[in-house]
Amino acid sequence: MTGKGHFKKDELFLVQRDGYTEEAYFNYTFSPIFKSDGSVCGIFVMAQETTQSFLNTRRLKILGEFGRRITEVESLENACSIITKVLGDDNADVPYAIIYFVDHNTPESLIARLITTTFDHDSKNGWLFHDYLPETPEIIDLTKDVDKNYNTFIELKREAATYSFLKCDSWPIHLLLKDGDHIKVLLNDGSQAVLLLTKISICEDQDLSAILICDQLRRKRNGLNHWLN
């Protein structure tokens, strides 16, 4: 023992909460406790959790980068590319993202187009998606998914609640367009992804749906998953 105090700021600890392994951050200090003769007889530890503050700062940094690059936006596709570029450069909160556009031109023609993603692209093999993801083609004819059954739900029990995830071989984009809101998917490696829908009115008689697919995080980060459950 040196007899000197020790202080750490925003140190990462992996803690178990509600059945998850969660990232938690703490400020803490170790201070020696001295006996009357000057020798150390113990250590006093004081800690303060800073998880929410740390994550807010990290996420505000990403939002700030979006704001800084807003002047580069020239089109919807370009805006999506900027989003995935920013997320890809700082992926602590969103490990991966995939964006599809669906044009609602006619009921008979419903095509989902892959616009951009955080995954790398190889000129020979195309997008280098992880093997545990469902099929992720660049073009999806959603009219072929009209009669597809998405009724395989897996329940994951946690200490405080039970959550339901869809198990499927392809991204349930047609189901998302039909039901709206969001859909949580259980992937082949046991991790989870979420599909989020945003509808955009391009002109008077044309609407566009933007679908964001992203990792729901292998290690739960305070505040990000609760709103999806």
Q: Give pLDDT, residue 2.
A: 67
**Which pLDDT belongs to residue 101?**
95
pLDDT tens for the 229 residues of the chain, in order: 566 888 999 999 998 877 678 889 999 999 999 988 888 888 999 999 999 999 999 999 999 999 999 999 999 999 999 999 999 987 888 889 999 999 876 666 689 999 999 998 887 888 899 999 999 999 999 888 766 777 777 877 766 667 788 988 889 999 999 888 899 999 988 888 999 999 888 777 778 899 999 987 655 554 444 434 4
Tokens encoding 211: 């679908």
- Using CA atoms, how far residue 181 sits from 7, 36, 111, in Å, is 45, 65, 20
Entry pTM? 0.81
Q: What integer pLDDT is reported at residue 106 of this predicted model? A: 65
Q: What angle do CA 200, 66, 204 make, to 5 degrees?
A: 15
